[in-house]
Amino acid sequence: MDSTIVQYFQKKSAGFLPARMLLFNNAIQLYSPDENSFIAAYPYNGISLIAREQGSARFSLLPDRSAELEVPEQHFLLTELLKATNVKLQKRKKRMGKLVLPAALLAMAGLAAALYYLLVAGVSSIGLQLISPKKEAELGKMIYSSMVSGMPVDTAAGVKLAAFAEKLKLSENYTLHFTVVDEKEVNAFAIPGGHIVVYKGILQQMQRPEELAALLGHEASHVNERHSLRNMLQELTGTFVLSLVLGDMGALGTTIAGNANKLRSLSYSRGLEEEADEKGMERLLQNSVDPKGMIWLMDRLKESEKEVSMPGFLSTHPLTEERKASAQKFVSKHPGGNNKTAALEESWTALKEATR
């Protein structure tokens, strides 16, 4: 079990909910454990200890006890929380005996622990701010080499895919690179820094250039919004994150090589997939491509759902019907034309011939 997770309770909710806990600004700050979105904050001066037993400490977050928090004993911020809320630790003092550490050393240890938590187990957006796009691109090259190594890459088809993508404006901040894998999987995925990998299976299923534009817009959105990087910050080890922030590329290479299979298995949350769908359709409109391409793409995915076995674009494939419904709502509000379809036809035809 992840020892950085606490259990958060509100009377209006059905029961305890998992959350990540940070301590700053004289308050407990709570975030969702999957996407690290903000949940709530509670000042120290309104918090009291209810009980401490069975491996956890339970706190009342409000005077009326309408909100509570259960913190596991092994959570490294528990001691700091107890001190901040003026709880006396008699049992802990007895165990400490005559051991006394200088205040400066304690402060340094606390700062180091807080920094580690913020970078590794805390809010991933903080890590995103510390990692520059240039460093992300370096990371992407290493991940690409590790993930694609051993895959049957179709170089000729990749050139045709890149030629199609060049006719679209997909990113302002990243140079995108395109690869076609010669396998029947109906799938695609994005790597931090700009690599987009598309399987021949999904290209063979597509019937219109708008569908491919929708797929590339979706994957480019994962890159532009740094969804792929956020996933890796959340899922991989603390060594990985710290090496990335500090620029130790040698250590990163070792970590990535040892986690190639784990990298392939990363999937996006439902919220991130929905955001990538919407951002992808916005890209279609910006490129004068009919946003109905996303609807048609969802039809193609739904036809192939039973054969899907890999993560990536289809990581939420059981929800394809809901994603299609969301795309239909978007199109009803943002009808677009087919002004650029003709410009895509030549590249589309060449790619289809290369992937037969």
pLDDT tens-digit series, residues 170-213: 999 899 999 999 999 888 999 888 999 999 999 999 999 999 99
Q: Read off the pLDDT of each residue in 62-75 and give the average, rounded to a whole number.
A: 88
Is the pLDDT score of 346 beyond 90? yes
pLDDT tens-digit series, residues 81-104: 888 887 544 444 444 444 445 555
Average confidence score pLDDT of the chain: 78
pTM: 0.61
How far apart CA 26 and CA 259 sit, in angstroms, is 38
Is the pLDDT score of 231 beyond 90? no
Domain residue spans in the chain?
5-122, 132-354
Is the pLDDT score of 307 beyond 70? no
pLDDT of residue 297: 94
pLDDT of residue 281: 95
Question: Are 355 and 348 spatial neighbours (Cβ–Cβ below 8 Å)?
Answer: no
| Beta-bridge partners for 6 | 19
The DSSP annotation for 127-172 comes to HHHHS-HHHHHHHHHHHHHHHHTTS-B-HHHHHHHHHHHHTS---S
Reported as a pLDDT band with limits 50, 70 and 90, residue 312 is: very low
| Beta-bridge partners for 29 | 22, 41
pLDDT tens-digit series, residues 244-285: 555 555 545 555 555 555 555 556 777 788 899 999 999 999
Nearest one of 338, 331, 333 to 287, comparing CA atoms: 338
pLDDT tens-digit series, residues 16-39: 888 888 876 678 888 787 766 778
The pLDDT > 90 percentage for the chain reads 34
Beta-carbon count within 10 A of 84 CB: 16
Give the CA-trace dihedral at 337, 342, 344, 346, to 10 degrees: 170
How far apart CA 216 and CA 169 sit, in angstroms, is 10
Q: Which of 131-135, 241-245, 308-312 has the highest mean pLDDT?
A: 131-135
Is the pLDDT score of 109 beyond 60? no
Beta-carbon count within 10 A of 102 CB: 8
pLDDT of residue 310: 40
Beta-carbon count within 10 A of 333 CB: 8
Assigned token pair, 185? 């999987």
Is the pLDDT score of 154 beyond 70? yes
Select 5-122's CATH number: 3.40.50.300, 2.30.29.30, 3.40.1350.10, 3.20.20.70.
2.30.29.30
